[in-house]
Structure 1
Amino acid sequence: MKAYGLPSHPYNLTPSALPIRSLLFQREPQWVPAHVLKHAYAPTAAGSWIEESGSLTARLRRIYGGGFGVKVLGQRWNKPYPDEIRILGLAWQRHTLVREVLLQDRGQALVAARSIIPREALRGMQCRLAHLGNRPLGELLFAYPRLARLSLEVSRIEPSHWRPDCLGELAPQGEIWGRRSVYAVASGQILVCEFFLPALITPT
Structure 2
Amino acid sequence: MEELPHSARHWVLMQSSVTEAIAAHFGAPPAVRVHHSGPSALATWEADLLGCDASTQAFARHITLDVGEHAVLAARTVTAWDDPMQTYLADLGDRPLGTLLFQGERWARASALIPLVEGTATFGRGARWHDAQSGGNLLVEEFFLTPLTDSSNGD
Q: What range describes the TM-score normalised by the shorter chain of this pair?
A: 0.7 to 0.9
Q: Does 1:151 align with 2:112?
A: yes
Q: Is the 8 A contact 1:144 1:185 kept in 2?
A: no
- Work out which of the residue numbers 88, 113, 133 in structure 2 matches 1:128: 88
Relative to structure 1, is the Cα distance of residues 92 and 80 closer, same or farther in structure 2, using a 3 angstrom cutoff?
closer
Q: Is the 8 A contact 1:67 1:106 kept in 2?
A: no
Instruction: Give the structure 2 partner of residue 3 of structure 1.
Output: none
Q: Give the TM-score, by structure 1 length.
A: 0.66
Which ranges of structure 1 fall in alignment gaps of 5 or more residues?
1-36, 159-173
| Percent identical residues | 29
Q: Does 1:68 align with 2:30?
A: yes
Q: Give the TM-score, by structure 2 length.
A: 0.85
Bigger fraction of residues in strand: 2
Q: Is the 8 A contact 1:177 1:196 kept in 2?
A: yes
User: Residues 131-173 of structure 1: CA distance to partner in whole angstroms, max 9, x if unpaired?
Assistant: 1111111122222513221221102211xxxxxxxxxxxxxxx
Relative to structure 1, is the Cα distance of residues 66 and 44 closer, same or farther in structure 2, using a 3 angstrom cutoff?
closer
Q: Is the 8 A contact 2:20 2:29 kept in 1?
A: no
Q: Does 1:77 align with 2:25?
A: no
Which ranges of structure 2 fall in alignment gaps of 5 or more residues?
none
Q: Is the 8 A contact 1:103 1:111 kept in 2?
A: yes
Count, aligned residues: 148
Helix, strand or coil: the match of 2:112?
Answer: strand
Moved over 3 A (4+): none
CA distance in 1, matches of 2:40, 2:30: 28
- Work out which of the residue numbers 143, 147, 155 in structure 2 matches 1:195: 143
Q: Which structure has the bigger radius of gyration?
A: 1
The one-letter amino acid of 1:122's match is M
CA distance in 2, matches of 1:156, 1:91: 24
Shift of 1:53: 0.4
Cα RMSD between the aligned structures?
1.9
Worse-matched range after superposition: 92-101 or 190-199: 92-101
Instruction: Give the structure 2 partner of residue 179 of structure 1.
Output: 125
The one-letter amino acid of 2:142's match is E
Instruction: Give the structure 2 partner of residue 139 of structure 1.
Output: 99
CA distance in 1, matches of 2:52, 2:98: 23
CA distance in 1, matches of 2:40, 2:3: 34
Bigger fraction of residues in helix: 1
CA distance in 1, matches of 2:146, 2:52: 33
Instruction: Give the structure 2 partner of residue 108 of structure 1.
Output: 70
Relative to structure 1, is the Cα distance of residues 51 and 155 closer, same or farther in structure 2, using a 3 angstrom cutoff?
same
